Amino acid sequence: MDFSIAAILAQDGITSGAVYALLALALVLVFSVTRVIFIPQGEFVAFGALTLAVIQADKFPLSAALLVALGVLSFIQEAAAVALGRSGETRKARKIGLALLKFVLLPLAIYAVTREYGHATLAMPLQVLLTLLIVVPMGPMIYRLAFQPLAEASTLVLLIVSVAVHYALIGIGLLMFGAEGSRTTPFSDARFDIGGLTVSGQSCVIIVVSLLLIAALYVYFERTLSGKALRATAVNRLGARLVGIGTGQAGRLAFTLAAALGALCGILIAPLTTVYYDSGFLIGLKGFVGAIIGGLGSYPIAAAGALLVGLLESYSSFWASAFKEVIVFTLIIPVLLWRSLTSKQVDEGDQ
């Protein structure tokens, strides 16, 4: 391996690592706030990429219909919970009206906009925006349907539910998008020559957008009230509840951010690789390796671990392409062994 090949592999590894870093941050966020190991994170990657591909193929994305269906189910569940609550009739009516707006009217509006304007002639930025409008609201809806009713359950129960949601979304993805893979139009066809190394414009877009999103998340958690509420919930759920922070609202917000990061990752990688309905699982799993390196609790270490995963995957594809996935996932073993030896064991009932 000479320097030019090593530089090319490093570029590919950093590009992949930037995507894995965003997914790792999303997984750490969801686990910290809700104790859910969010296995379906990869499905938002696939849904984002394939929804954009369908729009660019001048077809109607069935993910917009899925959004409406999830919204109706979420409204039924929310209305039932409000009706069984102890609030006054006026407050119940207000809550049900707000739920109707969020879970039914807004998805129907997005469906109508998609039906009317979701065509290949739409400008690329508007196509991306429409894709995000369709996919991102699915995050809090899935939380409302599958995880919020079990918010006080054990981590094992939440993991089982997460696996079930993952398989359900994979089946729905197959029904919506079919078994064929798709790619989208690149955001940039530019090429830059840096010291004999050719860097693609699409790789630059991925790295720059990832850095901007990481910086935006840092500012959000450090400077905004809702971001600080999420951090407080992640540190101590009971303490956050005692000071008036709604842990249910924090969970919905965490799932919203995770869905947004997943959809954006899918949009970013779709021009570089063919995405299938089940491709997101493997991509999300590599982000999970980065999150494990960070102990599912440290954002900087998780991002650094995800970057390491991208570089390891890239160089493994050169030296042993048939075993690159095995090499990447084997990285979990020494990390888990080291953490099991250095971490204090705490029973869940004592937390």
CA 102 to chain centre: 21
Same-domain status, 198 and 94: no
Same-domain status, 76 and 139: no
**Which one-letter DSSP state was computed for residue 200?**
E
Residue 349: inside a domain: no
Same-domain status, 196 and 67: no
Same-domain status, 85 and 37: no
Confidence of residue 187 (pLDDT cuts 50, 70, 90): confident
Residue range(s) defining the domain that contains residue 126: 3-61+118-344
Q: What pTM, to 2 d.p., does this model score?
A: 0.88
Residue 164 belongs to domain with CATH number: 1.10.3470
Residue 112: inside a domain: yes
Determine the residue type at 317: S
Residue 300: inside a domain: yes
Domain total in the chain: 2
Same-domain status, 156 and 70: no
Burial class of residue 311, CB neighbours in 10 A (0-12, 13-18, 19+)? middle
Same-domain status, 225 and 108: no
Give dist(CA 347, CA 236) in Å, integer. Answer: 16
Residue 351: inside a domain: no
Label residues 318-334 b or e (16+ Cβ within 10 Å = b). Answer: eeeeeebeeebeebeee
If you average pLDDT over residues 89-100, what whole number do you get? 88
Same-domain status, 36 and 77: no
Give dist(CA 213, CA 319) in Å, integer. Answer: 32
Residue after which a domain boundary falls, among 84, 117, 150:
117
Higher pLDDT, 5 or 176: 176
Same-domain status, 84 and 229: no
Task: Indicate whether 110 pLDDT > 70.
Answer: yes
Residue-wise pLDDT for 6-28, tens only, equals 778 888 888 888 888 889 889 88
Torsion-angle region of 68 (φ positive above 0: left; ψ -120 to 50: alpha; else: beta): alpha
Residue-wise pLDDT for 165-175, tens only, equals 999 999 999 99
Residue after which a domain boundary falls, among 74, 102, 117:
117
Supply the mean pLDDT for the chain: 86
